[in-house]
Amino acid sequence: MADFRTHTQVAAVLSGGLAGLALFSGLASLPEALFYWAAGTLGGILPDIDSDSSRALRIVFRCLGVMAATLSFITAMPLWPMSAVLGLSMSAYLLVRYLLCQLFAHFSVHRGVLHSLLANLLFTLVAVVLAYHLFQLSAKVAWGIGGFVFIGATIHLLLDELYSVDLAGMRIKQSFGTALKLTDWSEPGWSLLLVLQVAACWWLAPSPQDWQLVLQHHQLWPWAAGSGVMHSLQGLSEWVRQGGTLLMGGF
């Protein structure tokens, strides 16, 4: 399987490219594109949170801890004195970062059910729900973030699968087929739990309809249409078509 550095680098480059495309095609503003980039990069490490000693596990639970601390701070600030608010925030962070993290590590199995496309769908929907309800972002941006989490996490699975093919020795390692899978069929109970969580998050998530409308009515690549790039592409396709006709006529 690919290591942590490879996962973060590949996810950062690919999701950065896609976020750039969203920006230049007018589908995202600069702050939105930056959110998408971060979401895609984080998505790139998510499938490895089931590895108990992994950096991915620590990073994800640190982020969740900061979120819990911020939420406690915002909620308690108007009601409690500052010292109590700070104490609560600190406790929330420690609780999530250490206790929840330990519990999670205890119950998860590496390359188990969380290293699958079904889990990627859950990561996506959890990101959408958090972005929409906790950070109060619009439904469109929340789904954009979710989409990038899915892309990042799926790139992760594909990379692990690629690394299980030893091209130099032309052989397939034993791990082939364990990375990119729909779910872990040997854990039916956990798979069912994941399906139920996906359903619950889908119910909590806003409608993705905004993206449907945007994609239907938005003129993609307006810069290309105005700059003659489209014209050149049309010319190229015409040239290829004519070449093909000439070749066919020769036979």
Q: Contact residues for Zn ion (CB under 5 A)? A: 47-48, 160
Minimal distance, residue 183 CB to Zn ion, in Å: 15
Minimal distance, residue 170 CB to Zn ion, in Å: 23
Query: Smaller CB distance to Zn ion: residue 32 or 160?
Result: 160
Strand ranges (E), the chain = 165-166, 171-172
- How far is it, in rounded angstroms, from Cα 40 to Cα 152? 4
Residue recorded with tokens 């996490």: 153
Query: Smaller CB distance to Zn ion: residue 128 or 159?
Result: 159
Query: Smaller CB distance to Zn ion: residue 160 or 184?
Result: 160
Minimal distance, residue 163 CB to Zn ion, in Å: 9
Query: Smaller CB distance to Zn ion: residue 39 or 45?
Result: 45
End-to-end CA distance of the chain: 49
Structure tokens at 30: 């600069």
Q: In sequence order, what are the beta bridge partners of 165?
A: 172
Give buried/exposed letters for 153-179 (b at 16+ CB in 10 A, else e).
bbbbbebbbebbeeeeeeeeeeebebb
Query: Smaller CB distance to Zn ion: residue 69 or 121?
Result: 121
Minimal distance, residue 2 CB to Zn ion, in Å: 7
Minimal distance, residue 115 CB to Zn ion, in Å: 6
68 sits in which H/E element: helix 55-76
- Phi, psi (degrees; rounded to nearest 5) at 165: -105, 115
- How far is it, in rounded angstroms, from Cα 192 to Cα 200? 12
